[in-house]
Amino acid sequence: MKKFKTETKVRYAETDQMGVVYHANYLIWFELGRTALVDGLGLDYRQMEQEEGLLSPVLSVEATFLSPARYGDVVSITTWVEKYDGLRVTYNYEIEVGNRMCVKGSSVHVCVRKDDFRPVSLRRALPEWHRVYDEIKHN
């Protein structure tokens, strides 16, 4: 399983009065991790959206909060494709500070046409994405 890692430093604006990261910011970090994964696979979100007219909205997201990240911490976001069925992609995430696990989570996405939001198969709409994701699924 191919995993991708990226880091970010916790900014003051991402915390509450206690200096603890506000829970919704982890979802933003999931997106940072997912973007790093897509880039690391040599794929291009911008091309998918602008040239192909496709989007990849979130169908569901879940997160389990284990330990707080705080202002000034450097968080490490590890992301991988957990499941791919040709239509939906499930990404898993782990967010850590050092060796301390802060959050584990996942998000499920589907590819849709920008004009009508109807789901489309990656196999047909984005054959390169399908090839890469299908290859990951089998490794």
Q: What integer pLDDT is reported at residue 107 of this predicted model?
A: 98
**What domain range is 14 assigned to?**
4-137
- Number of structural domains (the chain) is 1
Q: How confident is the model at residue 139 (pLDDT cuts 50, 70, 90)?
A: low
Query: Catalytic annotation on 16?
Result: yes
Q: What is the mean pLDDT of residues 50-64?
A: 94
pLDDT the model gives residue 126: 86
CATH number at residue 38: 3.10.129.10
* Per-residue confidence (pLDDT) for residue 124, from 0 to 100: 85
- 49-70 burial: b if 16+ Cβ within 10 Å, else e: eeebebebeeeeeebeeeebbe
> What integer pLDDT is reported at residue 76 of this predicted model?
98
**Model confidence pLDDT, tens digit, residues 84-96:** 999 999 999 999 9
Q: List, for residues 98-116, the tens digit of each pLDDT value.
A: 999 999 999 999 999 999 9
- Say yes or no to pLDDT of 23 above 80: yes
Please indicate, yes or no, whether the overall pTM of this predicted structure exceeds 0.85. yes
Say yes or no to pLDDT of 138 above 80: no
The answer to whether the beta carbons of residues 37 and 91 sit under 8 Å apart is yes
Selecting among 16, 39, 44, 134, the annotated active-site residue is 16
Report how far residue 64's alpha carbon sits from residue 62's, in angstroms, rounded to the nearest whole number: 7
Distances (CA, A) of 112 to 15, 107, 120: 34, 16, 5
Is residue 122 over pLDDT 90?
A: no
